Amino acid sequence: MRVIRILAASLALGLMLTTRSASAEPTPSERETARTLLLSGREKRKNGQLMGALEDFEKAHAIMRVPTTGLDLGKAQQELGMLVEARATFLEAARYPVRADESRAFKRARKEAKLLADEIAPKLGTLTISVPSDAQVKLDDSDISSSSINVPLKVNPGKHEIVASLAGDEKRQTVDIAEGETKTVELTLAGAAPSPPKTSPDHPEKAKQETSTSSLVWIGGGIAGVGAAVGAVTGLMAFSVHADIAGRCDRGVRCPQDTHADIERGETLGTVSTVAFVVVGVGAAVLVYGLLNPNVESPKGDPASTSAKKSPRWIAGPFGVAGTF
């Protein structure tokens, strides 16, 4: 394909340039060769022989690396539809260091190259290849690095072939991009890691079970709440009885006969208060267990019926307030 041959020639040119020392000046023989190639390329370009002109301009620019050779090379690339390469060449020519003894031709070429680079910029196509990050991707038979996957790539307008492969699965797609157009191509590969499973709407009972609260939470909370209330009330009553008896006894040691019933009542209230606070601890333990195990139900099964049977109730008695479930 013509585009592939052009890219191969551009790559060869880049390799040639990296082997040449930046400070090395072309010899008189090389200058003459470059001049001949430049004139030959212009003649071929004039006659519509763009591929031949491109080859001559690439060789001339590889020798000289000056704004004039860069300008001619960029124009040939532009006419061949190689807008990405042409813009890069024009920018290189425009950024060529200014020399005190340079010719006016260099100044004119540098200025024109900058204008042409700016004109090309909005004409470039933008292509995003959406594939798994560990996939192998080729664009027009050239490997694409992982850092260029899933990001907008500047490409030449025209047709492009994309090949993506992963774990033995391969997908191909051809995309046509117009000047200035932006496109995203998504390729689904069988070797890609599966997405996390989602709860199916066909199983609402399972979803409900995963998000439900164990009835043990309500039972434990009820037990702890009632136990705390009973313990607090009976504790206050026991304290009140003790304070009353202390005022009627001699230094709290010798007590009249009529205080014996109150003493027994105070001791009973104190015992009830202590037991109630022990129940609070048991209820709290059940509550915490229910929170840590939301899918565990009470032994009686149905949370609704359990909740109804275990609802706390207050019962008034001769010794204060007690609770049942």
Which residues face 172 on adjacent strands?
163
Structure tokens at 151: 């990001």
N residues, the chain = 325
Per-residue confidence (pLDDT) for residue 245, from 0 to 100: 63
**For residues 72-84, b (16+ Cβ closer than 10 Å) or e, as one string?**
bbbbbbbebbbbb
Question: Phi/psi of residue 141, each to 5°?
Answer: 70, 10
Low-confidence stretches of the chain (pLDDT beneath 70)? 1-23, 191-212, 218, 220, 238-239, 241-260, 262-263, 266, 280, 286-287, 295-325
Per-residue confidence (pLDDT) for residue 45, from 0 to 100: 97
- Domain map of the chain by residue range? 2-122, 125-186, 212-324
Per-residue confidence (pLDDT) for residue 224, from 0 to 100: 74
Per-residue confidence (pLDDT) for residue 39, from 0 to 100: 97
Per-residue confidence (pLDDT) for residue 148, from 0 to 100: 92
Structure tokens at 254: 């010798």
Per-residue confidence (pLDDT) for residue 193, from 0 to 100: 58
Rg (CA), the chain: 45
Structure tokens at 80: 């061949």
- What's the CA gap between 58 and 42, in Å, rounded? 12
* Superfamily of 2-122 according to CATH: Tetratricopeptide repeat domain (1.25.40.10)
- pLDDT tens-digit readout, 81-123: 999 999 999 999 999 999 998 999 999 999 999 999 999 999 9
